[in-house]
Amino acid sequence: MIPKSIKWRLQLWYGLILVAVLVGFGVTAYQLERNRVFRRVDDDLHRRANAVAQSLHRPPRGRPPDAPDQRGFPPPEPFDRENAPGPDGPPTFNLAPPIAALFDTNDASGFYFLIRSLRPGHAEIARSANAPKDAGTQFPEPPARPQDAETGPPPGDISGDDRGSARGEIPGEPPQPVMRGSCRELMLLTPLGESVLVGKNVSPELTELRRSALNLSAIGGVILFIGLAGGRVLVGRALRPISDISHTAAKIAAGDLSQRINSAGTGSELGQLAAVLNATFARLETAFAQQKQFASDAAHELRTPVSVILTQTQTALTRERDAASYRQTVEACQRAAQRMRKLIESLLELARFDAGQEALKRLDFDLSATVADCVELVQPLAEERRVKISAELKPLRITGDSERLAQVVTNLLTNAIQFNRPDGEARVKLEAREGLAVLEISDTGQGIAPDDLPHVFERFYRADKSRTGAGNSGLGLAICKAIVEAHSGVIEVSSGEKAGTTFTVRLPLAI
Amino acid sequence: MRILIVEDEPDLLASLAQALREEGYAVDTADNGDDGLFNAEGTDYDAIVLDVMLPGMDGWEILRRLRKSKKTPILMLTARDQTRDRVRGLDTGADDYVVKPFDLEEVFARLRAIIRRSHDKTTNLVEIGDVTVDTAARVVSLKRHPVELTAREYTLVEFLALHRGEVVTRTQLYEHLFDENESSLSNLLDVHVSNVRKKLGAEFIVTRRGHGYCIE
């Protein structure tokens, strides 16, 4: 069974590949060495076999008998084939001394030869003293030749490329040395009817090769061990950051969102992964904190109206009351319910903006007309609070949802009236500036304290704690911001204490 | 018993005040922090019900400032229910803490408890000779038989019983039994004292001329 861990699988594959490479390399090296050793032996065998074979035939006609042949061998001693011994005849044949010197007959591991007649009976013509008894038994019995060997193929040089034709069997196929036990032997058939077998006991070479193989195996084993150990260390080091990451991720999964992965080596792929994960965790943490705060705030906002309903109804039910008293209770409950409805609507609206699900219309319209409508809408409230509204509106076309933007304008105007002083002024100004529609709504009220100013667009943040009444959910400016930003716009606030507050909305003009 | 409620939500304030008045308390109200602190510092209330989120000065600030001069029992009333808010409230000097939305019964019980503790009492029962005052059930018994008292008569008995052995001045009684809208009716107190003596015995409330009243 293959282990599941990447570390072990990597090591397993690495080990298998390493073994394959080492075995391939070792086998190749051994083969090369073996070929080299045997080629040397084979060359010697061929050389000796040819020398022996040549010494058996007469020199070609028209050639001086004492002229040395191409390879410097002395002219062979004529061999009296007619008087060659029969199958039972004693070996009376002797090689010429220079050729005999090629065979060290005293050395058990040296070269040996065996010459036999191809005539029926295969009588042995000559053999060296160190030739084993079973020499040549691995070769198939050569076909016997008739007596009149002269009718055979004309004599030729049995050497070099022509060696194959000497056997008169398969032209072009040179005779190949064959192993017999620990001996390597080569058999040539001369055209005149002899088989020449030359052999060598290659035990020393085989021993040498075995030692080489052992050496190669030992070196391969050491390299394999070092490679595996090094691989283990490398794999461990390469995978260490992954286990760090998974540890940290596990902690985060367990709920501790403040944990971060150590991304010291940010250059590597894993460092980049750690950085990406950290950024994701940071976003998650922020989103979680915001979500928690939002839920807690929403619950908090709902507590007050629920308290009103509970207290009102519990008080009303303690005893019998008159109709007017019940009516008061019901009205108070209705006010509380309205407040909850408004809160829930605002929360849902914000949630839709958060999720990007709020469907906004994308139509060209004149923003100044929308603003003028809003001014008209809040006029009664302004009169009630004795606030004068002055509007300076230039016609501007923008693309977007006029109803949603009217909601923003109305909200800002209502604030400008409610936070104004009596006999104060609310100014509305709309103009094009730097390619943007710029709407400014300012009041002459108390202004917002510098501490509160950065927070006014936060959900449930109330700069003035007194406005916890039914009309104010603490979400109005947060919704304004969401709507403006959904129109690719910006909303800003500036305020000086006692100098009034100005809200500025910038929106892209219609193209 | 006179209680101050500081709460900015008008419907909640109105119903709380009504419910506590029906329980026999004299109730003053304030709908913002500044008025709340002014009232709390100027009058010896038996308890204060204090909201945290208030326009003007918030509940924490009122608590902090009031604790410099007064030991009045304070019941905090808030929509914040996180532990750290409760701890902060109690550490700043609040006597108890109720989270909105609450049940009126719980508010009543907690008010009774903090008032009782402020008089070093451990139970709701006060025994004075043959008379037993049960401050939880708001029942006075004479020789184990319940005596019918009006709400005002009961609070008079309860107040004197909680201050047993002390001479309670008429001013104190006015301050604790009547709220700010009715305290000028000076002979009202004599009528209540006279009625209680008829029901519980002439010697139950002793008059100390020039000082006030006392239950011995």
Predicted confidence at residue B150, as pLDDT, reads 85
Omega within 30 of 0 (cis) for the link into B101: yes
Predicted confidence at residue B181, as pLDDT, reads 72
To the nearest whole Å, the CA of A334 is away from the closest chain B CA by 11
H/E element holding A37? helix A6-54
Look up residue A483 and give its two tokens: 């709507």
CA distance A420 to A480: 20
User: What residue in B sits closest to A298 (Cα-Cα)?
Assistant: B79
Look up residue B50 and give its two tokens: 């204090």
Is pLDDT larger for residue A132 or for residue A186? Answer: A186
| Cβ <8 Å between B11 and A336 | yes
Is pLDDT larger for residue A174 or for residue A14? Answer: A14
User: What confidence tens digit (pLDDT) does each residue in A267-299 have?
Assistant: 677 778 888 888 888 888 888 887 887 787 788
Predicted confidence at residue A88, as pLDDT, reads 46
Confidence of residue A440 (pLDDT cuts 50, 70, 90): very high
CA distance B172 to A233: 88
CA B14 from chain centre, in angstroms, equals 17
Q: Tell me which chain A residues have a C-beta less than 8 angstroms from the C-beta of B105.
A: 314
Selection from A414, A416, A398 nearest residue A484 by Cα = A398
Predicted confidence at residue A147, as pLDDT, reads 53
């709920």: which residue's tokens?
A: A255
Q: Which residues in B have their CB inside 8 Å of a CB on A?
A: 8-9, 11-12, 14-16, 18-19, 22, 32, 53-56, 58, 79-80, 82, 99-105
CA distance A405 to A362: 12
Predicted confidence at residue A281, as pLDDT, reads 84
Q: Tell me which chain B residues have a C-beta less than 8 angstroms from the C-beta of A465.
A: 53-56, 58
Domain residue spans of chain B = 2-118, 125-214
| Cβ <8 Å between A318 and B99 | no
CA B113 from chain centre, in angstroms, equals 11
To the nearest whole Å, the CA of B102 is away from the closest chain A CA by 6
Domain A269-354 and domain A363-508, same fold? Reply is no
Q: What is the largest CA-CA distance in chain A?
A: 162
CATH class given for the domain over A363-508? alpha beta
Report the residue of B9, B85, B107 to disrupt the A interface, i.e. the one with the largest count of A CBs within 10 Å. B9
Q: Which of A21-25, A195-199, A303-307 has the highest mean pLDDT?
A: A21-25
Look up residue A64 and give its two tokens: 């001086």
Predicted confidence at residue A105, as pLDDT, reads 63
Per-residue pLDDT at A154 exceeds 60: no
Whole-number Cα distances in Å, A192 to A54, A86, A97, A189, B200 = 11, 15, 22, 8, 164
Beta bridge partners of A101: none
**A403 exposure class (CB count in 10 Å sphere: 0-12, 13-18, 19+):** exposed
User: What confidence tens digit (pLDDT) does each residue in A90-144 have?
Assistant: 444 566 667 777 776 666 667 888 888 777 777 777 777 777 778 777 777 777 6
CATH number for the domain formed by residue range(s) B2-118: 3.40.50.2300
Size of interface A-B (CB pairs under 8 A): 75
Domain residue spans of chain A = 269-354, 363-508
% pLDDT > 70, chain A: 81
Which CATH architecture is the domain A269-354 placed in?
Orthogonal Bundle (1.10)
Q: Which residues in A have their CB inside 8 Å of a CB on B?
A: 296, 300-301, 303-304, 306-312, 314-316, 318-319, 329, 332, 335-336, 464-469
| Cβ <8 Å between B53 and A467 | no
CA distance A49 to B124: 134
* B12 → closest Cβ in A308, A464, A465: A308
Selection from A38, A27, A44, A40 nearest residue A179 by Cα = A38
Confidence of residue A471 (pLDDT cuts 50, 70, 90): low
Q: Tell me which chain A residues have a C-beta less than 8 angstroms from the C-beta of B80.
A: 300
Report the residue of A304, A317, A467 to disrupt the B interface, i.e. the one with the largest count of B CBs within 10 Å. A304
CA distance B67 to B74: 10
* B79 → closest Cβ in A300, A312, A335: A300
User: What confidence tens digit (pLDDT) does each residue in A33-84 have?
Assistant: 999 999 998 888 888 888 888 777 644 444 444 444 444 444 444 455 545 5
Confidence of residue A20 (pLDDT cuts 50, 70, 90): very high
Is pLDDT larger for residue A157 or for residue B213? Answer: B213
Predicted confidence at residue B30, as pLDDT, reads 92
Q: Is the CB of residue A451 less than 8 Å from the CB of residue A440?
A: no
What's the rounded mean pLDDT across residues A296-325?
88
| Cβ <8 Å between B12 and A307 | yes
Report DSSP letters for chain B, one per residue.
Answer: -EEEEE-S-HHHHHHHHHHHHHTT-EEEEESSHHHHHHHHHHS--SEEEEESS-SSS-HHHHHHHHTTT----EEEEES---HHHHHHHHHHT-SEEEESS--HHHHHHHHHHHHHHHTT--SSEEEETTEEEETTTTEEEETTEEE---HHHHHHHHHHHHTTTSPBPHHHHHHHHS-TTTTT-TTHHHHHHHHHHHHH-TTSSEEETTTEEE--
Predicted confidence at residue A420, as pLDDT, reads 86
pTM of the model: 0.58
**A478 exposure class (CB count in 10 Å sphere: 0-12, 13-18, 19+):** buried
Report the residue of B5, B6, B13, B15 to disrupt the A interface, i.e. the one with the largest count of A CBs within 10 Å. B15
User: What confidence tens digit (pLDDT) does each residue in A240-252 have?
Assistant: 777 878 888 888 8
Predicted confidence at residue A80, as pLDDT, reads 52
Q: Tell me which chain B residues have a C-beta less than 8 angstroms from the C-beta of A335.
A: 11
To the nearest whole Å, the CA of A315 is away from the closest chain B CA by 5
H/E element holding A218? helix A203-253
Average pLDDT, chain A: 79
| Cβ <8 Å between A466 and B80 | no
Predicted confidence at residue A150, as pLDDT, reads 44
pLDDT tens, residue order, chain B (216 aa): 889 999 988 889 999 999 998 888 889 999 888 899 999 998 889 999 998 888 778 888 899 899 888 889 999 988 777 777 778 878 888 899 888 888 999 999 999 889 888 888 778 888 888 888 888 888 888 888 888 888 888 888 888 888 888 888 888 888 888 877 765 566 778 888 888 888 888 888 888 888 888 887
CATH number for the domain formed by residue range(s) B125-214: 1.10.10.10
